[in-house]
């Protein structure tokens, strides 16, 4: 006994569609993984540059549009006894 040709075609089409979607999800996850590694690498570079800039200019806020900066004023904590 067999199911009808119509039902068989529908099942085959659905399975083909599901497999195609799973393949696309796998590709997206692979791409996401690569992008997350790039993101982490750039974050490391950012932290290294922050240390370099602080060593040269001190503690500053930098306007990334024009490169101007202002010194960061450190608040002194009042000691209460």
Cα 79 from Cα 81, distance rounded (Å): 6
pTM here is 0.68
Q: What is the mean pLDDT of residues 12-38?
A: 98
The tens digit of pLDDT for each residue in 62-80 reads: 999 999 999 998 777 777 7
31 within 8 A of 18, measured Cβ to Cβ: no
């Amino acid at each position: 006994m067999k199911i009808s040709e119509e039902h068989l075609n529908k099942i085959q089409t659905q399975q083909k569609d599901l497999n195609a979607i799973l393949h696309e999800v796998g590709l997206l996850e692979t791409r996401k993984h690569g992008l997350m590694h790039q993101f982490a690498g750039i974050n490391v570079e950012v932290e290294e540059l922050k240390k370099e800039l602080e060593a040269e200019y001190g503690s500053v806020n930098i306007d990334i549009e024009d490169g101007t900066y202002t010194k960061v004023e450190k608040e002194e904590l009042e000691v209460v006894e």
